[in-house]
Amino acid sequence: MSSLSHRSALLIGIEHYGDDRFTRLPSIRADLERLGGVLNNRAIGGFDVQVKSDLRASEMREAINEFCRTRGPDELALLYISSHGDRTPAGEFFFVASDTYRDDLAASAVSATFVNECLENCFSQQRVAVLDCCRSGGFAVGFQTKGSKPAADEDAGRAPRLSPLAPTGVYVLSSSDVDQASFAGGGSLDEPEPSLFTGALVDVLRSGRAGTSASGLVSVDDLFDAVSDP
C-alpha cells in the first residue's frame, strides 16, 4: 500500500455489547481474522498488526491513543474499527464500545473527535482510518469529503466514503454515509462471514485488483475505487 519502510495497523472490533439495544455482531470475528491476515501477509500488506476485541470505551481510547502516539515519521499507520456506530441528536458520531450505554453516548462511547485528534497528532507520514460502522460517514462531517461512487447495493448502505481530512493528510475510508447502515455478513454464530464492506476490502487486497502502478503499490484512492465498484 505504501513505499514507507514500516507499516503498522491497529484493528479494533466490538462483537459483544452490555447494552442489549446494540445487537451482537459475530461477523466482527471474521472481519478481524481476515483483514488481519491479509494485512500481516508479507506478500500483500506487510503490516505489523495489533488486534484488539471487545474493548471498553476507556480501553479503546487508550489503545488508539497509544497506537497513534508511538508511530514514527517513517511509518504508514492504519487504524481499523469495526463496531456499531451511533450519533447524538446534535449529530456527533460515536464508536460504540462493549460497555457503551445508548442513552449516554457522550460518557460511555468513543467520540469521532477523540479519534480524529489522535490521528492528527500522530507523527506518521501517512495515516489511514478504515471504519466499518453504521453512520460512519459522520466521522468526516465538517471536513473536506470526496463523495462516494454508488455501490452495488446503495440502498443497503454499502457505498464507502473516502475523506481526506485536510490539511493533515489523514484518509478515512468508511463503510456507510452519515445516515446509512452497514451490513454484517452471513454464516452462523460459530462460523460467521465478514461484513459486506470488510469482506469486499479483503477481497480487493487479496486479489490485487486495486491499483495500476507497475510497482504494485496501492493508494487509498485506488482502494476506494476498487471497493466502490460493483
The band of 143, judged by pLDDT with boundaries at 50, 70 and 90, is very low
pTM (2 decimals)?
A: 0.77
225: CB partners within 8 A, 6+ apart: 149, 210
What are the residue boundaries of the structural domains of the chain, listed by start?
A: 6-228
Tell me: pLDDT of 70 over 90. Answer: yes
- pLDDT of residue 150 exceeding 80, the answer is no
Checking if the pLDDT of 8 tops 80, the result is yes
CATH architecture of 6-228: 3-Layer(aba) Sandwich (3.40)
At 227, is the pLDDT very low, low, confident or very high (cuts 50, 70, 90)? low
Q: Are 222 and 210 in contact (CB under 8 A)?
A: yes
9, containing H or E segment? strand 6-13
DSSP E strand boundaries for 54-205: 75-82, 85-87, 93-95, 110-111, 126-132, 161-165, 170-174
pLDDT in tens, 125-142: 889 999 888 654 445 543
- Strands 170-174, 75-82: pairing kind: unpaired
- Output the pLDDT for position 55: 98
Q: Which pLDDT tens digit goes with each residue over 169-212?
A: 678 887 654 443 444 555 556 778 878 888 888 888 887 655 54
- Please state, in angstroms and rounded to a whole number, the distance separating the CA atoms of residues 97 and 110: 7
The predicted pLDDT at position 186 comes to: 57
Average pLDDT for 53-62: 98
- The answer, yes or no, to whether residue 95 has pLDDT greater than 60, is yes
